[in-house]
Every structure is written in C-alpha cells, then in structure tokens.
DNA sequence: CAGCATCCCCGCAGATACTG
DNA sequence: CAGTATCTGCGGGGATGCTG
C-alpha cells in the first residue's frame, strides 16, 4: 500500500538506476512535467483540486493526483481535506515547498527570458546541417 | 535528417502535448536526467566525451550523445571537434549554458541541503498511513 | 467533488553491433 | 575515440469507469 495511489508512481521519470543519490529523486519530483506547473501555480495562492486542474489545463486527473501526492509526501505541498459534502480539498505550499517553488520559478523565468537566444541557436544549428 | 541523431530524440520526456509553450521544452532539456548532470559537470571545466561519460557514470553513450546534441542545439553547450586521429571532441558551456547551469546547480544544491527535511516528511507521511 | 482502479499504447532508455 | 543505426522492453501517462 505505502503510497496509496496506483502502483506507487513515484513520479520519477527514471529512478536514477537504484538508490544511487536520493536527492535526484526530489529533483525529479520538482522538475517533473506537472510538478513544475503545480509548484508555480501554488506560489500565488492555495487551490482546490479541480481549480488547480483548470488553472494548469491539459493535465489528467490521474497525473495531477500523482503529482500532488508525491509533492505532499516530500513535504512540499500541504493537503487540507475538509470533511464536508461534497468533498473539498485545498492544496498549498509548505515553507519547504515555497523554497523549492521559488527555485523552480527562477529557472522557468530564466528559460522564458532566454527563449529568443535559444531559438536563434536552434535555427543556426539546424541551418548548419541542411 | 534534420537533427542527425537517431529519430530526433528531442530529449523531451514529453512534448507537453503540442507546441503549447516552447519554453517548456528548454526546461525539459536542462532538467532532464542527464541534462542536469552534464550541465553541472561542465560548470567546472570542459570535458571530452569519454571523460564526461566517466565523470557522470552510469550513462550510456547513446543518452550522453543525445543529451549533448540537444543542449548544443539549444545553444547551451559548445562542441569543439578537433580534426585529429583519434578523434577528440571537447564540450564546454556557452555563456547561455552557464546561466542555465548555475540555475540548475542552485536547485540541485537546495535539494541536497533540504534532503533531511524531505526524508523526515516522507517518514511522517508513510507512517501516518500504516 | 475528489479521488481510486484498470486497461492499453506509445516512446524513451538501454543493449548491441557497426563505422570514420 | 566518438560517434551512428537498429531492435526491443517496460513503464509513464492518457482514457475510461467506478466510489464515498
């Protein structure tokens, strides 16, 4: 049971071989496809599940669930399930998560800022081998 | 032909659906399994292919080649192939690549520093559902 | 609403063999 | 040495259907 979700996804794209270096796993989690987007969204405010799903867009329930569970287990995301009907679950960043999210956002921001240079480099690269 | 390597790997774990947001692709590249390690290694100095392979360890030639080609195409890594026999190829960071590498290293460093907290959180999480 | 459980497919990683 | 080309598996990820 352990992780509770389907077959303990780990959200690691690749487990770096073995137990090699555990920090790699965390890095995988925060830089994973949806991990990045979740962290950045939650940097603004807390979100409900569906709300977050809409905000990110194009994410399946399954993947969002997996991502949130993994991040929660790592202590980066706080899950607040209110015992009401219909169910209401709020997700927010922990202090630890906020630190991670800021790093990730910095990287994402850098990427968008330097996108021009990257695309220029790509064109040069592609053209050089026609 | 275009990318020249095997079936244009793109090194993107997932192409984020479509052309959605191109910056995501760069983010994928620099945070990819081997991308992270390559960038961090190259932050110290330039490396030859095999040298880099040994430094990283447990990376297949194929994946290292793919990673380097992708990063080169993005303008993050400079490839210097000397026309000698036996072949000698040196890889180093471009200015752009150095910026990216520093961001990535910062994230990696943070991860190692906070590893204790993460593992503590994991134990608590796992224990809470036995 | 917020999940959990299954099925299934495609794509990436790894292994292997071959070149300049 | 520094790649390229081809084959194969297996697992991440989407789609679908069901619960409290």
Query: In order along chain B (130 residues), what is the average pLDDT of each group of 10 residues?
Result: 40 48 88 95 98 94 97 98 95 98 97 96 92
Residue of A30, A36, A118 lying closest to B74 (CB–CB) = A118
- Region of A75 (left: φ > 0; alpha: ψ -120 to 50; beta: rest) is left
CA–CA separation, A59 vs A92, rounded Å? Answer: 18
Nucleic acid strand C: bases within 7 A of protein CB: 1-6, 12-17, 20
Cβ of B37 near strand C (under 7 Å)? The reply is no
A52: pLDDT strictly greater than 70: yes
What residues contact A77, with CB distance under 8 A and at least 6 apart?
A38, A42, A68, A71, A91, A92, A93, A94, A97
- Sign (positive or negative) of CA dihedral B29, B35, B36, B39: negative
Q: Which two tokens stand for residue B63?
A: 């994946």
Q: Which two tokens stand for residue B14?
A: 């997932």
CA–CA separation, A41 vs A97, rounded Å? Answer: 12
Residue B12 is predicted with a pLDDT of 52
Residue B130 is predicted with a pLDDT of 76
Q: End-to-end alpha-carbon separation of chain A, Å?
A: 53
Q: How confident is the model at residue A123 (pLDDT cuts 50, 70, 90)?
A: very high
Q: Which two tokens stand for residue A10?
A: 């780990």
Whether A76 contacts A100, CB under 8 Å: yes
Buried b (16+ CB within 10 A) or exposed e, A37-66: bbbbbbeeeebbbeebbeebeebeeebbbb
Nucleotide nearest to B14 (CA to C1'): C11
Residue A1 is predicted with a pLDDT of 28
Percent of chain A scored above 90 by pLDDT?
77
Average pLDDT over residues A23-44: 94
B110: contact with A, CB 8 A cutoff: yes
Please tell me the CATH code under which domain B22-128 is placed.
1.10.10.10
Nucleotide nearest to B52 (CA to C1'): D2
A18: contact with B, CB 8 A cutoff: no
pTM for this one? 0.87
Nucleic acid strand D: bases within 7 A of protein CB: 1-7, 12-17, 20
């Amino acid at each position: 049971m352990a992780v509770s979700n389907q077959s303990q996804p780990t959200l690691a794209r690749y487990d770096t071989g073995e137990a090699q270096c555990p920090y790699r796993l965390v890095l995988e989690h925060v830089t994973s496809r949806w991990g990045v987007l979740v962290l950045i969204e939650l940097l603004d405010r807390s979100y409900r599940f569906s709300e977050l799903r809409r905000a990110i867009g194009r994410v399946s329930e399954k993947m969002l669930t997996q991502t949130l569970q993994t991040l929660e287990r790592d202590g980066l995301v706080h899950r607040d399930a209110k015992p009401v009907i219909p169910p209401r679950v709020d997700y927010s960043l922990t202090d630890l998560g906020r630190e991670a999210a800021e790093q990730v956002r910095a990287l994402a921001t850098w990427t968008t800022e330097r996108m021009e240079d990257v695309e220029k480099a790509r064109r040069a690269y592609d053209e050089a081998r026609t």
